[in-house]
A and B are shown apart, each in its own frame.
Chain A
Amino acid sequence: MSNIIEMFSYSFMIKALIVGVLISLCASLIGVSTVLRKNSMIGDGLSHVAFMTFALATILHVAPLYFSIPIVIVVSFLILRLNSSNKIHGDSMIALVSASSLAIGTFLISITKGVNIDINNYLFGSILGVDIVDVIVSIILTVIVLFLYLVFYNKIFAITFDETFSKSIGIKTNVYNAVFAILCSLVVVVGMRLMGSLLISSLIIFPALISMQIFKKFKSVVISSVIISVLTFILGLIVSFIFSTPTGATVVIVNIILFVVVKIISMLK
């Protein structure tokens, strides 16, 4: 208990807690549709693009957040567009973007002299990297995501379940897909500093996958994903503080353990 009290006496821990909880909440809401539409890898691809843009921003001495957001959004649109045109299979496209961005980012950092960047912080996240701007951006992002999700919940369900049918009854599925791509990009960019480029996508997929093992109704899966996502983040943050382990990795491990436990229980039922 004293550990937890001590933990929150540090302002960086409070910032990490706020950003982490809010990003987990947004990621889990986006995650349910992403996983069910078999687009789980999109978060992974975008996070690697964000890694590249962060590297580039640092080299160019510009604010990484503002620099990354528009680029990642544009790439997310490109992935969506190429996916729907069926010229390159979705998975291959994401793998291509993902590997290329990681390679370019690493290359840029290594050839730039006079810039001191710890590449590990970008790849695996750092609790010290979270600043007040991240806190403000996450609050705004959460308000937007919650608003959109609540107002358009019925349509989000319809599209997630059956996009062709939704189109046929007049739902503008392209607009929804674009909004989802923007929100997914924002979650990835804002959450990346805390969770790391290699691990942020787990916040999008794990809570949805765990909830789908437990619940068989869409509404229950959505609510459960949010609760699981927030709780596993808080638990991961506490464990990482006590054992001095990286936050991103610890949060993912908490999710893995929960996933395995739930899977075993559901198999025994």
Chain B
Amino acid sequence: MSLIEVKDLKIGYEGHIVLDKVNFNIEDGEFAVVVGSNGAGKTTLIKALLGLVKPVSGSINFNGLKQEFIGYMPQETKVDSNFPASVFEIVLSGTLNKTLFYTKKEKKLALDNLKLLGISNLKDKSFGELSGGQRQKVLLARSLCSTEKLLILDEPSNNLDRESKKDLYEIIQELNKMHNITIIMITHDLDHGNLIGNKIISVTDGTVISESTEDFVRRVHHE
């Protein structure tokens, strides 16, 4: 059974349909890359997966995975880079805390994720002091606190230099391969970013095509 099954999905806002007849599956452990031009509806699709936008019709099945256990990493530009908060405060906020104080387990989870991404040394630093690449890793560590299963990343390599981009992609691939975390990643980065996964979901003209990376390369080459 697929981890995510999207069937005949139609999504839109206030009478305006953004995407229609969307069908695709994501298997457990897969790395899917969502590509498409600006305004094509990539973020809308992601928001529907996250339950932030209600579908007009159709269905999204997570087959046992609760929506709140999806790790989500929004675009870095959506977050105020001068926000007065320490790295640890931010990463902790990804744990699904239901109590007054963070538990020992939640603190350990946050510390483990900082360690996993190699940024334990930044724990007490202020968010504003970090470089773009470091900020992305902090947001990634935060989203890892809410999932062990599925990560949805919205343009994680935005505004990063070549070196930081490479570094981040390596980490994401490692999360996928070594930790068996299913990844859905939106990217604009057609040089490298779109080819690191094993599935490509192309959002064009109000609908989507889902295919293997090999088929995508063949099709694009052919066109």
Q: Does A66 contact B (CB under 8 A)?
A: no
Q: Does A218 contact B (CB under 8 A)?
A: yes
* Docked complex Cα distance between A254 and B25 (Å): 61
Beta-carbon nearest neighbor of B89 in chain A: A218
Within 8 A of B (CB), among A11-58: 36
Q: Does A112 contact B (CB under 8 A)?
A: no
Q: A164-B74, A216-B129 in contact; A169/B94 too (CB < 8 A)? A: yes
- Per-residue contact bits, chain B 80-114, to A (CB 8 Å; 1 contact, 0 not): 10011110011011101100111000000000000
- Measured CB to CB, the closest approach of chain A to B95, in angstroms, equals 9
Q: Are A150 and B100 in contact (CB under 8 A)?
A: yes
Q: Does B206 contact A (CB under 8 A)?
A: no
Q: A216-B86, A217-B126, A218-B85 in contact; A164/B96 too (CB < 8 A)? A: no
Q: Does B29 contact A (CB under 8 A)?
A: no
Q: Does B170 contact A (CB under 8 A)?
A: no
Contacts of B143 in A (CB 8 A): 165
* Docked complex Cα distance between A215 and B84 (Å): 7
Q: Does A170 contact B (CB under 8 A)?
A: yes
Q: Are B79 and A161 in contact (CB under 8 A)?
A: yes
Q: Does A65 contact B (CB under 8 A)?
A: no
Within 8 A of A (CB), among B115-132: 126-129
- Measured CB to CB, the closest approach of chain B to A90, in angstroms, equals 16
Q: Does A212 contact B (CB under 8 A)?
A: yes
Kindly identify which residue among A157, A164, A170, A221 contacts B68, using a CB–CB cutoff of 8 Å. A170
* Docked complex Cα distance between A162 and B52 (Å): 14
Q: Does A268 contact B (CB under 8 A)?
A: no
Kindly identify which residue among B51, B89, B92 contacts A168, using a CB–CB cutoff of 8 Å. B51
Contacts of A150 in B (CB 8 A): 100
Q: Are A161 and B78 in contact (CB under 8 A)?
A: no
- Measured CB to CB, the closest approach of chain B to A84, in angstroms, equals 12
Q: Are B96 and A217 in contact (CB under 8 A)?
A: no
Q: Which range holds the interface residue count of chain A?
A: 20 to 34
Beta-carbon nearest neighbor of A154 in chain B: B97
Q: Does A219 contact B (CB under 8 A)?
A: yes
- Per-residue contact bits, chain A 166-191, to B (CB 8 Å; 1 contact, 0 not): 11111000000000000000000000
- Measured CB to CB, the closest approach of chain A to B170, in angstroms, equals 24
* Docked complex Cα distance between A24 and B79 (Å): 28
Contacts of B97 in A (CB 8 A): 154-155
Q: Are A154 and B102 in contact (CB under 8 A)?
A: yes
Q: Does B146 contact A (CB under 8 A)?
A: yes
Beta-carbon nearest neighbor of B50 in chain A: A168
Contacts of A154 in B (CB 8 A): 92-93, 97, 100-102
Q: Does B70 contact A (CB under 8 A)?
A: yes
Q: Are B84 and A162 in contact (CB under 8 A)?
A: no
Kindly identify which residue among B68, B101, B102, B128 contacts A169, using a CB–CB cutoff of 8 Å. B68
* 6 pairs from A and B in contact (CB 8 Å cutoff): A154-B101, A161-B83, A161-B93, A167-B52, A168-B68, A218-B85
Q: A168-B72, A217-B89 are in contact. List 18 more A-B contacts (CB 8 A).
A: A151-B100, A158-B93, A164-B52, A164-B74, A165-B143, A167-B50, A167-B52, A168-B51, A168-B67, A168-B68, A169-B72, A169-B94, A169-B146, A216-B126, A217-B85, A217-B86, A218-B85, A218-B89
Q: Which residues of A contact B (CB under 8 A)?
A: 36, 150-151, 153-155, 157-158, 161-162, 164-170, 212, 215-221
Please give me the 8 A-B residue pairs with the lowest Cβ-Cβ distance, nearest first. Answer: A216-B126, A170-B68, A158-B93, A168-B72, A218-B85, A168-B50, A217-B86, A221-B84
